[in-house]
Amino acid sequence: MNHVLVTGGAGYIGSHACKALRDAGFIPVTYDNLETGWQDAVKFGPFEQGDLLDRARLDEVFAKYAPIAVMHFAALSQVGESMKEPGRYWRNNVLGSLTLIEAAADAGCLDFVFSSTCATYGDQDNVVLDENSEQHPINAYGASKRAIEDVLRDFEAAYGMRHVIFRYFNVAGADPDGEVGEFHQPETHLIPLMLDAIAGKRDALTVYGTDYETPDGTCVRDYVHVCDLVDAHVLGLKWLKDDKGSRVFNLGTGSGFSVREVIDHSRAVTNQVVPYVDGDRRPGDCTKLVSGSTRAKAELGWTPTRSTLETMITDAWKWHQTGHYDS
């Protein structure tokens, strides 16, 4: 059986990955402690509740399903929180991932697809980032992800564990079929926060920082549609199965948009006023993060088809109106 263990499969990106895996002929097995995920999002394969730090539970799941690979999304991921509670991030993200990697190696599951982040690069203004850019994370979230990348390289040297690492930029949008989407408690991502404000679920969107060295003073990010992102993860899994070796790929479009530009696009897509107020910068936020990589396109054959702001906001708005797990 082509089981793939998907950690964090009840979360935003993980649930979309499970659908993409199912559509590609694999059987995704969601492993999630439901701390930030939603059991209602598990629709495309078996569910096993458990924590990354629970080695005995992981061993049970590896023995039960004998997965051919791991796709690892589970992590704490709030930059601001990681600045205030670094120990929690190092314990959960790094120690949890180490426990998972050890369990996979002992089970003979040696193909590993890892969800990393562009936050490993830190704040490199006026630098278009590719896979060879220096990594200087400025918060515990990015630092924890970089540490896991190092762990995977050591396990390849020791055990032959092959890995594909995806460092991706800001993920947005939702499943266009409306089966799964983005929903966090608390919500921290720009587009769903903005849609909440449009829908009257919060008084206003707060724009964190208006004094960045950008054309309009707000920080700039590269946005990629969640469906395009998970398509790349399936391609990464096939890359490993084709014995092409370990590889790092950036996932972004190469186009950066400021917060004010996203607000303007949202106003156009929804035909609604976007209530917002200006606020102070958040600790740990970078000025600009934009991918300059074409490696995923050239080597994986990855072609994002939904990663325009209009499409991402349209899909997110559709989900926002119809699909929340708490409804």
* Cα dihedral sign, 151-286-190-231: negative
Instruction: Name every residue whose Cβ is closer than 8 Å to that of residue 317 and which is 6 or more positions away in sequence.
Output: 195, 269, 270
Residue (of 186, 189, 167) closest to 316 by Cα position: 189
Q: Is 179:43 a contact under the CB 8 Å cutoff?
A: yes
Separation of alpha carbons 13 and 172, rounded Å: 9
210: tokens are 């208006």
Give which of 96, 89, 88, 101 is closest to 53, Cα–Cα. Answer: 96
Rounded to whole angstroms, the Cα distance separating 170 from 190 reads 10
Q: Which tokens belong to 173? A: 């949008």
Among candidate residues 141, 168, 212, 223, the one labeled active-site is: 141
Within 10 angstroms of residue 47's Cβ, the number of other Cβ atoms is 17
For residue 243, the tally of other CB atoms under 10 A from its CB is 8
How far apart (Å, rounded) are the C-alpha atoms in residues 229 and 11? 14
End-to-end CA distance of the chain: 35
HSE-up of residue 145 (Cα within 13 Å, Cβ side): 29
| Token reading at 247 | 């590889």
Does the annotation count 212 as an active-site position? no
Beta bridge partners of 205: 276
Which active-site residues does the annotation give? 141
